[in-house]
Structure 1
Amino acid sequence: MALFVVLLLSIAIVQTLGFDIQGGLMTFRPMERHQDGTNAVSFLYKESTRGHCAHQLTWNCNSGDCGQVELSEITDTDEDNSDLHLWCQSEGHILRNMSSDKPFTLRDTGCCWVSNLNNARNWTLLTKVDIGTRSDTHTINKSPVMTIIPTIRIPQNCFSIFHLLVHDPDGDQVRCRFGQPTKGDCQSCHQHPNFILNESFCSLHTNNTPSVGMHVFEMVVEDYPTKNITLSYSDGTSSVRNALNLSVSNSLAPLSQLPFQFAVEILSPLTTCVPGVVRPQFLSPTPSHGDVFYTAVGFPFELTLRAKATQSMIYDFQISGPHNMSKTFQSNTGTAQVHVSWTPQEIDVYRRVPVCYTAETRESQSEMRCIVVIVERTAVLSGQADITCTENTITITLTKSSMKGVEENQLRLKDPSCSLTSNGSHIVGTVSLNACGTRMEDTGEYMVFKNEIDSVGEASSVITRRNFVRIPFSCSYPKLAHVSTSFKNHKSDYVFTETGFGSFSYSFEFYTDSTFNSMIDPRSYPVDVKLLDKIYTGIQGHSTLPQVQLFVESCKATPDDDPNNPLYYDIIKNGCSMDETLVTFPSNSTKFNFEIEAFKFSGDFEQVYISCRVILCEAGNPSSRCAEGCVQNEARRRKRQLFMETHGHFITQGPLHLERRSLHTSDEGPANSQNSNVSTPVFAALFVISVLLLFGVMAYNIKKSRLINHSHLLSSF
């Protein structure tokens, strides 16, 4: 009885002090393999609370051999020191010495969640760990990394898209999903009918107005390889991990499973949602969401965040980062900024460090942005370069004398299939604004196109004698300029440069009819189409070389302009037709014209992009990829012949916007419309019977439509 009273008093004290948990997460990475065959594995976790930090997470072994704990520590990283006491976040570090490299799970459970609308009380966090050796990298498997600010506050009328940060050091495909109680992922595992989770991009948006109050999200992060791999273990066993393919319905085992839980407070509506008025708006030089930075052990990494709010006062910035990161806050009339500094230690070498931040007012907060900081052992080299910006391209000219010992073949662009060229004094790269990994960002007044030159890693080498190179470059265009409309939707020509082929480009257009003489005006994008409409698509290669041939090796549809989206539909694969409605039209050697019928992806997707992998070959050469044509067996494909053909490049066009149509409009059911028109004025006595029949037909059509929508990837409205 006395113990029960003490327990009740302890719970009451915790609740009185405001130690309600607002979220938790965990990641892991291997540190080193000891001579005795054991492995040191580092686990980092975040704990977010309302009010003061409470340090409630303990992480116990749930299944498998979890090794021995060598170190366990926790440090507060950021806290609201105002009278509001809205947040506190701490970072814990656990170092385990593993005698086995077989999979195991860690688990934490406890009470209590911050008061919420979902009636979530107890929490459960589950981490599934696999530190087998990968067949693709020949290194121990690492988990994705992520973080999130401790307190998220969004006005009810200002919720648009909430982007989460997940980044994988192994380059795996990362997905987020809501937790499932049958898998033991969480305690309540609330599914949130008013919120939609984009699992591929780990972003939240609403399909209905969310209720004012606190909403608890118990999510799971999983990673999958981009190609089939094998995980090998020290006892001689192995397991296969297959690449994720959402186009087929299957259940695959992930490489790792991580808890990602947080709370979102929906605030009362604001008078305006315009950024920079009541809600803070980030200003330059604040990094954009998803930016990647590099630093080295012992070198301070510094960051400046700046924001404005003309009708409110910014009193602080929330920052979720490593435990020894410091911040210095400054406030001026209408604007505020914070200087962030962090010096990586030896234990941080090769670590991927996520950092998220928001600007805070008493009424609201800015959008959340997140970056990744990659820690190298030695300082990163950067050279002297000139940048030339045109309407369609960016050219970077790097002075060789500023990068002694660095050659062209040691460097690459964001997209390694895009080449650099060089002469005696300079290394040159030319990229399209929509190709070679170039990323577009809208900063408000400008549209910024970013790319970077990095050093090529030596995956098969145990040592390296080269310094790491990173040279980011960008071009900014005023939004009033032509580029603002040209690149928001319609993609202009794709320009590439390769040794042996020089500079060449591809145009990718939609046309009005099968003559392919009149392309759709770029200003009319996105292109509105109806299901089963004919879509006329044309691709043309442009080269100064006289004898070249275009080959379209693959085309696939995705719901966005990312050709690597795991949700896709093959139209052409390995040069072979995959869609029954595909019709190709005769054209010259540098053109490829085809037609397909319009479709949509099942689910909440209203847009379709088409991406094609294209190659230019030496015309008439029987050994080129162009001459091979359709290859049913991928194993028969030979390696690319240098100077005979270019790299394969993905080019994308879209979006095609599917017009939404009612299931019971007059053009779909003329008989129903006719019966209705006749029954109303003439046969009053049969009115009830006619209505019942009409609803019966409608119910049948709706049921049939739903069955089709759930049975196939591609569906109709």
Structure 2
Amino acid sequence: MLDRYKLGVLLQWLIVFLLSPACEASSLGLTVHVVPLDDDGGKTVRAHFSVITPSPCPDLAAVCAAGEDCQAHRTSLPFSYTQPSPAWCVRQWQKTVPSNYKGVFSLGLHSAFYVAINADPKIRANNGKLNRPPFVALPPPLRASVNCPVDFHVSTKDLDGDKVQCRFARADKGECRDCFPHSFLELDEESCTLTFTGNAAPGQYFIYLMAEDLIPSPPSRQILNNPPLSSVPVHLSLTVEESASSCSSRPLPLDGTPERDSVQFILPFQEAKFNAYYNAVQESVVEIAVVGPPDLYRVGFASVGPLAKMTMAWIRSENNLTQILPVCFVANTKSFQSELRCLWLYQREMRTLPAGTELRCNQTEMSLVLPVTSLVDVDLTKLQLNSPTCPVTYNNTHLTAHIPLGGCGTKAVHAGSELVYTNTLKTVHQTMISRRPSLILPLACRIPGAQVEGPYYLLDMPTERETFGEVRVWLEFHLPGQGPLSRFTSTPRFRSNFSPQARARRDAALNNNTQTGSQLKEMVKQLDLYVMSNCSVSRAEMIVTECMESETEDFTGSEPILEKGCMMSNSTLEIITEKSTSKIFRLNINTMKVSGTKMYVECKLNLCIATRPSDKCPDLCGNTSRSSVLVDSVFTSTYSIRSGPVSLMMEDFMNRNESISPTPSNNVTDAPPSNVTSPTEPTSLKPATPKPGSPKPPTFPGSTPPSSQIPNMTPTNATSTGNTTTSQAPEAAASWITGVILMSISIFLQMNLLQ
């Protein structure tokens, strides 16, 4: 009886334990960037949390209690993605905690996470300052396939120049709860590289690491007792999936994608902008997943056949974020993930300028007066603005410059709700290496958000409809030599010569003969598939990425006609026409795998405009290894169109007027049907800068706007191509325009501290 009672109590305890908040959710990813506070000698730290949680995204209301030194980062540009399933999102906040901290924090009602920070204050002997713990970049959730080994590099940086290494967290040290190393994971502690051996069953696994900084030592001399200066937690997740094909089918980054662990230095109000390009041969990229600082813009995502691209940008406004900020990204297909890449944004520290420095802003220009005495050993003859054509004058006492808001390389960016005009006065050396001091002087005129409100500052991105017109796409089927483009199909010229053109023309001529009674009882031998659009933009081109046929309406069993824009067999040939916004494919029914008397066809396509008149949109079957084929093109969203039943009996086909869908159907609606693919993000266009009161400039697709103007881009049901408009500051008193200047004087060789 007693044993039964004990067993009942034990079962109740286990149920309570398993349903407790600490066990309800595991972190899909977590990092903490720790910044010691000088006010109390490092006894407390500012902890910057980044956490990946399953969707739906939990609320941040619970992370900051009343009276705490805490800030939740709520952004209009959330990081939210779909792969791996279930969907996931990123939550970020910062909070002051003890330097030696262990605790559980909650997100929403069903997510609780345990963290352990060991950052006890230590004064560095080399500079007498508090030691700064290492920074670890948070990657998107990791993915791998069964029996496919892969390495995952965890990107780290240390502002003190210390050596950073990683190890598995230990429960006996209070660093994690219920954590243990997985047998299929190996960790190179020196390089912080995880290796998945491939020997794991499909499922989701959680990884708990600690990143530590150690005093570096020369290779020739090893320090025997070199304990870590601090330890910070790193949580990762790995989703192992069934392998759909070979292990070499991962998306590959193309030229122009930031290199792993690269660094971009950013001045105040400067924009850091970079692109990611991928080539995915096996499967198309469904998303480029990114984890980065709050208000990191991600725009212009396009996935066309094997190619994919996206633009990312971050503008440095006034913030209390960490000095270095990681951005990690991967390309996800349905079954695969590209290699992980992370770059770091380094916010340069600025020095305060001496008394007598003055920057004035008015309606048309900013004027700078700078005491020469503050520029010790700086070569004044080497100073210039963003544009070298604008003069910088100086005498024995002062340097002066008059900088128009609409010239001299002045740029307009949006920092939060403010409109900021920026320029930079800097030293330009003739050689890459110089031991003379360099001047970097950011200049900014800020227009408050209250003044920005109004028609002149409305950022209006033209929709896909405005760029490509009211696009409609549809399918038609015709016998060779018939249909609206019969002049091209009666004596066809083929783009791909899977069969001799002479025989193809002879076959086409036979099909053009008047059908006899006996022939009407036969199967159709050849059929022309018309992929049509009504787009009338002169430089627009159609790219058909995929077509498949099936004998059943639900496409449970299907055969490819085209994949990645390439014809899959000699049963299909493309007929060359003069109509760039439509395509015709000659289907040889005799050699296709069609056993019944009818079939259904589904195609996916994009419309494209090359941004330069001398260029063409990408040939998906040609050389797709260059990133420029996507950079120099503007795309619509991907349209998916499906035919009704296509009779393959000659008599039935003739009775139906040889066409299944003669009337164009509009697939771009406010509520698109299920056969229209999800829209991608808008493609960027170059902004015009009209004067106040001037008419809105015409839209021209093809160039790139400052990503600072991206927040107001609104995707439509199809991929929107966009244009931003800004203007000069309206006529107003200079009192509400604030001048901001900061300075950095340093030796050039010191600029590479994080390289």
- TM-score of the aligned structures, taking structure 1 as reference length: 0.44
Structure with a larger share of its residues in strand: 1
Q: When the two structures are superposed, what TM-score results if normalisation uses the length of structure 2?
A: 0.42
Larger Rg: 2
